[in-house]
Amino acid sequence: MSLRVGESGRICTFCVAQKVPQRHCITSNTSESLPDGTRTISGIETVGTRDTSNLNAGVMGSDQPFSTWREFWQAPQIGVNLYSEVVNPSVGKQVFMLTDVNLAEPDPKLFELPEGFEVVDRRKPVAQHPE
C-alpha cells in the first residue's frame, strides 16, 4: 500500500486505516494555541492547544464532509497532558483527565528492594573507543 500525502502535507492516516484509494481526504489541518492560553488544573498551570482536521465526504463512511478536533492541556512543569478531549462524529466525545496529581518527592522506601531480592545488571559493557 502506498501512503498518500493530503493537501495539508501530512500522511492521511484515515485513508491508510480505511484502505481508501489514493486521494486527498483531508482538506485542512490546523494546530492552534487556545484563546485562553493557560488554565490551572489540579493546582498545576497548563497550556492549551487544539488540532482540527476537516475531512471530505466519503472518508470513514461519511456521505458529508466533517471536522474532528483534539484539545490538549499540557503542564510544561512535568511535560504531561493533564486534560485532553477528542471530538469525532464517529465516536463522539472522549475526555481524558489526569487526577490526584502529587508533585512531592515519593517516599524513597518505595524504591528499596524487598528482603531476599538483589539487582542483577545484565547490560553488556559499552566498548570504549580510543580517542
Extents of the domains making up the chain: 29-101
pLDDT for position 18: 59
Cell of 35: 484563546
Cα–Cα distance for residue pair 58/117, rounded to 1 Å: 58
Summarised one tens digit per residue, pLDDT across range 18-29 is 565 545 565 666
The answer on pLDDT for 99 being more than 70 is yes
Cα–Cα distance for residue pair 108/8, rounded to 1 Å: 49
Instruction: Calculate what percentage of the chain has a pLDDT beyond 70.
Output: 70
The answer on pLDDT for 9 being more than 90 is no
Higher pLDDT, 15 or 41: 41
Q: Where are the alpha helices (DSSP H) in the chain?
A: 13-18
Mean pLDDT over the full length of the chain: 78
Which of the 8 DSSP states describes residue 23?
Answer: S
pLDDT for position 73: 93
pLDDT for position 3: 39
The answer on pLDDT for 54 being more than 90 is no
When pLDDT is cut at 50, 70 and 90, the band that residue 52 belongs to is confident
